[in-house]
């Protein structure tokens, strides 16, 4: 199912035929898939001393299944977004409805993350992951039907976006079950995030090539298959675990937002929400800015790629080279400096300098590795699924809000001034956020471990 910025994702789980199991590399043989499904949930991977490195995460069998399922699910999301947008435009010839197809990937996130967050702790996690993938496959399959009206196509797009935060929050909480809540969890989260960022660079190009070979509905058929493969991998490759709070009282929306009553959790949640709110502004205005400085579409592509390239490079470096304590030490400085490079836009820079500013801003995203560890340590385990669902829903929602606000501001103010103003206002807000994170330090065991060395 989808990740970060992508729409992902009861009924009983799918059967687990042994023949469908994915091959495993040479070495000690893991239990057969049917044994994994039936056996009690294994203990989380033991923490490794010093920097574990990304290779250590792939040595955990369950994570390999989750990672490959993420690849298939992400492919499904990217291709379905592009194919559905083209299909809606071909059917209606309306640029507004075509653009609305993309917007609907953001708007329902808060609804799903708020109304359905409690499911992440009340239903066994593997069942949620599989069912969400099946819901997405079913929605896309209905899009393939030629008689499906445009209004129904958009409603199906909304349905995928509604279940997406539940899927993503559950998967994040499940990673903590699989990898533990230490260094391996941080690196596992980082890998999934890097894959999602990479999809922004390559995914739409792959989808565009695919649409030159098959019509939009043919691409949607392929998307249906990718969601089904993801569901099968999660069903066969992850252990059955009980719900975290199955026996607790049934709590609704008030309990979901009640998570924010804890000052430390609230500060950490804002640290996931506030930076993206400002970070998306130059990306949202990349096309108007390219027009403002009169450069080619190739230069526009460079501006669009610079931020995610910076994020991927910095996160890979931090995950590979820095240890746990070092990743914790860079969180507050990088949060505070997150949009400071946008001040360069006050000079109306050319493509090279603007791309450098975006690359540097993206590189500050390495703070998320330390923040992930703080967050999983601060949230009680029985609320982990709910909290992570709310967190992912908020991240998607604020990105949509930030893009919309940037567009409105650019109607009245020149684009360079909008981006530079974002650098000023955003830096003030992020410095205040960093001070709040500092004020709540020591309230969870993550801070105790990481900042005391």
Q: What is the pLDDT of residues 164-217, one digit of tens each?
A: 888 988 998 899 889 987 889 999 999 998 888 887 677 666 666 777 788 888
CA angle 265, 430, 175 (to 5 degrees): 40
Contact 35/238 with Cβ under 8 angstroms?
no
Mean pLDDT of 18-25: 35
- CA 379 to CA 179: how far, in whole Å? 16
Residue 77 confidence (pLDDT): 80
pLDDT, mean over the chain: 81
For the domain spanning 18-237, the CATH number is 1.20.1250.20
Model confidence band, residue 445 (pLDDT cutoffs 50, 70, 90)? very low
Residue 89 confidence (pLDDT): 81
- Do 18-237 and 255-451 have matching folds? yes
- CA 252 to CA 239: how far, in whole Å? 28
Q: How many CB atoms lie within 10 A of CB 4?
A: 20
- CA 7 to CA 272: how far, in whole Å? 18
Among positive and negative, which fits the CA dihedral 425, 197, 285, 304? positive
85-88 long-range Cβ contacts below 8 angstroms, 24+ apart: 86/211, 86/216, 87/143, 87/153, 87/216, 87/217, 87/220, 88/150, 88/153, 88/154
Q: What is the pLDDT of residues 114-172, one digit of tens each?
A: 777 778 788 899 999 999 999 999 999 999 999 889 889 989 988 888 888 889 889 98
Q: Is 336 exposed, middle or buried (0-12, 13-18, 19+ CB in 10 A)?
A: buried
- CA 447 to CA 453: how far, in whole Å? 10
- CA 248 to CA 246: how far, in whole Å? 6
The domain made up of 255-451 is a member of CATH 1.20.1250.20: yes
Contact 419/345 with Cβ under 8 angstroms?
yes
User: What are the extents of the domains in the chain?
Assistant: 18-237, 255-451
Which range is least confidently modeled, 76-80, 189-193, 423-427, 441-445?
Answer: 441-445
């Amino acid at each position: 199912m989808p990740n970060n910025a992508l729409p992902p994702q009861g009924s009983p789980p799918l059967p687990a035929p042994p023949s469908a199991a994915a091959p495993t590399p040479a070495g000690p043989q893991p239990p057969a898939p049917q044994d994994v499904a039936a056996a009690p949930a294994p203990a989380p991977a033991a923490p490794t001393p010093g920097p574990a490195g990304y290779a250590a995460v792939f040595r955990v069998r369950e994570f390999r299944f989750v990672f490959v399922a993420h690849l298939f699910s992400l492919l499904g999301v990217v291709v379905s977004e592009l194919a559905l947008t083209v299909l809606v435009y071909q059917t209606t010839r309306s640029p507004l409805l075509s653009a609305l197809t993309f917007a609907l990937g953001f708007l329902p996130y808060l609804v799903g993350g708020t109304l359905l967050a409690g499911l992440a702790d009340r239903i066994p996690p593997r069942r949620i992951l599989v069912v969400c993938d099946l819901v997405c496959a079913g929605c896309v399959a209905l899009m393939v039907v030629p008689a499906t009206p445009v209004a129904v196509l958009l409603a199906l797009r909304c349905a995928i976006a509604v279940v997406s935060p539940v899927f993503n929050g559950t998967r994040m909480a499940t990673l903590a079950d699989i990898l533990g809540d230490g260094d391996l969890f941080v690196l596992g989260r980082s890998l999934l995030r890097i894959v999602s960022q990479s999809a922004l660079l390559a995914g739409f190009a792959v989808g565009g090539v695919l649409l030159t070979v098959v019509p939009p509905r043919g691409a949607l058929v392929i998307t249906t298959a990718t969601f089904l493969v993801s569901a099968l991998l999660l069903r066969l490759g992850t252990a059955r675990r009980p719900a975290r709070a199955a026996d607790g009282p049934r709590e609704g929306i008030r309990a979901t937002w009640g998570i924010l009553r804890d000052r430390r959790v609230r500060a950490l949640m804002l640290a996931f929400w506030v930076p993206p709110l400002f970070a998306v502004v130059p990306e949202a205005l990349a096309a108007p800015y390219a027009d403002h400085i009169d450069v080619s579409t190739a230069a526009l592509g460079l501006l669009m790629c610079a931020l995610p390239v910076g994020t991927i490079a910095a996160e890979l470096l931090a995950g590979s080279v820095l240890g746990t304590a070092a990743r914790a030490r860079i969180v507050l400085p990088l949060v505070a400096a997150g949009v400071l490079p946008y001040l360069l836009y006050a000079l109306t820079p050319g493509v090279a300098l603007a791309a450098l500013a975006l690359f540097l801003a993206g590189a500050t995203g390495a703070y998320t590795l330390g923040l992930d560890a703080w967050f999983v340590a601060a949230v009680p385990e029985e609320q982990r699924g709910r909290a992570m669902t709310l967190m992912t829903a908020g991240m998607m929602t604020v990105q949509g809000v930030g893009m919309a606000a940037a567009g409105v501001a650019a109607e009245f103010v020149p684009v360079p001034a909008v981006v530079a103003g974002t650098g000023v206002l955003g830096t003030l807000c992020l410095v205040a956020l960093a001070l709040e994170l500092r004020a709540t330090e020591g309230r969870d065991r993550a801070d105790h471990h990481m900042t005391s060395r």
